[in-house]
Amino acid sequence: MTLAEELHFGRAAQRHYIAAQPFGRIIRDLEASVGFQIFARTSRRVAVTQRGNAFLADARHVVEAFDSLISRMPAPRPDDHLSFAVLGFGICDLWGDVREALFTAQPGLEVCFSDVTFAEQYEVVGSGQADVGFVMAVQPIDGIDLLPVMAADPVAIVPRRSPLADAHRLSVGDVAGELFVDVDLGTSGIERWLGDAWTEAWMDRKYGDRVRYPAALPAAVALTNRIAMHTSAAADYFPHPPGGVRAPRGPRMPNRHRCSVG
């Protein structure tokens, strides 16, 4: 139904907080299950077929009936349980204060956490799998309230044996020609956080399997001898020089600190 409205795989997938490729697989699986083509697509356009229009008309009635059923029978949820979806380091050292405030306001609160990937960080909150998400908020997301709690600049993670490991700061020019760890970002929009210059250096060099979780980035750097980008919190966990220093906000192509891993 969303694809019929958008007639564009990328935009339709973004509305469901997933990447275009898995969204396309869902459409192909649906067409295989009904036994006919719902959408006619070429390299330039997507259109609904005649049989697809009849199918979608019935599908709308089914979805509306299901939504009505769910609205009349809300699932009970305990008041003393809160689930968090956490991307990478989450809110880092701020969590201690947040935790104290939570338990002061509601003693006996039960809290659980789950790691999320770059690509699914918004989806788990939008779909109700988690009550709250510690995500990287780089763009407005329909249906989700984004409340900023901290700001983080990018840092570069480089192999310990790399000549770049001895540099105090790294700029885009310093890493020109270097290979970057391939990361599955989905439609998260994290490229906006990096900025145009770093995104161009990163995105033009995609090789190998994709890293899905931020926690896997240092290991990927050590295993592949490629460079990765992380938030400045990484400098506190993988510091070089010891202690690390946060990267300042700067011009279009600012210098970035680097963390080295073995």
Return the beta strands (E) in 55-151 as ranges. Answer: 81-86, 110-115, 132-134
The arithmetic mean of pLDDT across residues 188-194, rounded, is 72
Residue 79 pLDDT: 63
Distances (CA, A) of 69 to 64, 66, 78, 164: 9, 5, 21, 59
Q: How far apart are CA 116 and CA 113, in angstroms?
A: 10
Tell me which of 92 and 53 has the higher pLDDT: 53
- Given a cut of 60, whether residue 257 has pLDDT beyond it is no
pTM of the model: 0.57
| pLDDT tier, 173 (very low <50, low <70, confident <90, very high otherwise) | confident
Residues 12-39: tens digit of each pLDDT: 988 888 888 889 999 999 999 999 999 9
List the one residue out of 115, 79, 219, 227 whose CA is nearest residue 162: 227
Enter the DSSP assignment of 5.
Answer: H
Return the beta strands (E) in the chain as ranges. Answer: 39-41, 46-48, 81-86, 110-115, 132-134, 154-159, 228-231, 258-261
Residues 60-71: tens digit of each pLDDT: 999 999 888 877
